Amino acid sequence: MKNILLVLFSTALLSSMACTNGKAGNDDKSNKKTETKQPAENKSGDEAVKAIHLTKAQFLEKVWDYEKNPDKWVYKGDKPCIIDFYADWCRPCKIAGPILEELAGEYKGQIYVYKINTEQERELAGAFGIQSIPAFLHCPMVGQPQMSAGIAQTPEETKKMFKGIIDEFLLDKKK
């Protein structure tokens, strides 16, 4: 399993589809807000499940209170999670966002998908050393979280990458 995760993380890290911290990769000079796509409805036909946007206060409450436990990871969630560190101007973030929204519905009740806007929550981004986005923190119920950055070359490969991380690292499903 560690070899598979290493390959997945390496794919994400080596991907040319990452933005550096700053707006160097921003092709949208108009500074328009990102158009938000509606998440896909889940298979049961229930209301669509969405990724949850977090502020620093919500992160400290739901994920990890690094102010009280700066030297020890203590996950506070009741399900594993993926945290998407993004910015509205980042093109790869705009690709990853809808994929994660879809996976939030597909894995409803099994994981949380959180989003943190690095422009609004600079302290959180700094706490994790985020220097390029999108960056993803994968938090299992037991053990240490893992960080990855970037996306794969295509949306299909990106979804496959996330599903592999969810199934094998977060949910510990052996194939």
169 close to 138: Cβ distance less than 8 angstroms: yes
Tell me the two tokens of residue 67: 């102010």
Active-site annotation, residues? 90, 93
Strand partners, 138: 82, 146
Q: Which alpha helices (DSSP H) does 67-121 contain, by range?
A: 91-106
Q: Which of 38, 13, 165, 18 is nearest to 93 (CA)?
A: 18
Tokens 């036909």 belong to 45
84 close to 54: Cβ distance less than 8 angstroms: no
Give φ, ψ of 166 to 5 degrees.
Answer: -65, -50
161 close to 109: Cβ distance less than 8 angstroms: no
